[in-house]
Amino acid sequence: MRKRALVVGLGIAGMSAAIGLRRAGWTPVIVERAAERRTGGYYIFMFPEGVQAAADLGIADHLHTRNPEWRPGGNSWSVDRRGRRKPVLGLLDAPSGLAAVLRGDIEAALWQGISGDGTEDAVEVRLATTPVEITEGAGGVRVLLEDAGTGKRYREDFDLVVGADGMRSSVRRMVFGPDDDYLTNWKAMICAFQLKEQVPSYEASDSIIVSRPKRAMWVFGLADHAPCAWLTYRTKDIPDRFAGPSIEQVRTAFSGMEGEPVVRHVLDSLEQAPDHVFDSIHQVKMPRWSKGRVVLVGDAAWCMNTYSAMGSSSSLRGGAALGVALQEHPGDLAVALDAWEAGLRPYITKQRRSARVKQQRFVPSSRPVEVLVSGVLELIRRGVHRRLAAEYTTAATATASSATAP
């Protein structure tokens, strides 16, 4: 009989793990506490590792990317305190190989992957369902599940439980212990949402950066979609930041900057947005990602936080790698999980460490750091833009030549 796995969470980590499990010959069942599948979502970078993992999972053909076409002079602008704009190194300029997507683009591709294509069975998904109790026995894991719609509780047996339910994972709390044992507080907040329209006087696909010490606002331009806004700020009183309405908290954090046109447009757009993400920034640090027949993946296991920009790529890679490890060690789950973690942990550790450096670019801690980061990026930008301009000119010349050829 095929082994069964319960996957908790219908996000990127959960669906990636489910596809990996199915490829390894397992029968995954996904439970999701929400009553319906999420769509949309904010702007995400996919690094080459994530793009490769998408190919490994067989979803690359379903994945819609939204990289703007590069223009001479660039697509990204930094706006100073006087409202003056200057070209700046865009996050898509370097390193090469990044793909711009919405979170919903990745989840839509994964959804097609778990839905089956005639050659593979669709993965069973139970919405509005959560695990209430997880008990491991000699031959498997017994899980008490609850249907939120009916209130009904029932027990079911699995050979493996995969916790893919995010930074504040309920699976982690039930099996490994309280959040405080693993969450590292970075004393910063994030707010992200989709704009209805671009900031006036900018091109539709432009990216805009308004960066000040301890607070920053980014607008990410896309090729075929309205831009996304990403606001972040440093703070010492994380608990108090959840005491009142989130929009009010964000406006307070950016007080004194409302006179700047970009800031004013973004804050006004936040008021009109149908939904937004507002959360504190943490990292998850665990000495081990599995315990018996329970394993954590994605943010539940190793959340590197939004400054790393590697969350989606690492979740895709983690799910693909889990499937490979189970395929290579079909008769011994413990050995498979050990091999999976040993192969993945060095990569996760490296990316987690880099997040501190990246944070200074996204939201500098002081004015001297702001000036230093800006100067370094300007030196890099000049070299990158010379290369991109040469490539652009070569491509334009080739196109013109082919158009005039007899």
**CATH number, position 24:** 3.50.50.60
Radius of gyration of the chain (CA): 23
Domain interval for residue 9 = 4-64+103-182+283-360
For residues 331 and 405, give the distance between their C-alpha atoms in angstroms, rounded to a whole number. 63
Whether residue 252 is contained in a domain is answered as no
Report yes or no on 344 lying in a domain.
Answer: yes
* 274 burial via Cβ count (<10 Å: 0-12, 13-18, 19+): exposed
User: Quick check: is 108 in a domain?
Assistant: yes
Can you name the residues that pair with 45 across neighbouring β-strands? 100
pLDDT at 83: 87
Residue 50 domain-assigned? yes
Q: How many domains does the chain have?
A: 1
Asked, for residue 302, whether it belongs to a domain, the answer is yes
Domain-located, residue 299: yes
Q: How far apart are CA 298 and CA 225, in angstroms?
A: 27
Distances (CA, A) of 173 to 154, 165, 214: 20, 11, 32
Is residue 111 situated within a structural domain? yes
pLDDT in tens, 282-335: 999 999 999 999 999 999 999 999 999 899 999 999 999 999 999 999 999 999
Residues of the chain predicted below pLDDT 70: 73, 94-96, 117-119, 239-241, 385, 388-389, 391-406
Residue 155 lies in a domain: yes
Instruction: Identify the pLDDT of residue 402.
Output: 60
- The pLDDT tens digits for 202-239 are 999 999 999 999 999 999 999 989 999 999 999 987 76
CA distances from 6 to 123, 165, 166, 168, 294 (A): 11, 12, 15, 18, 10
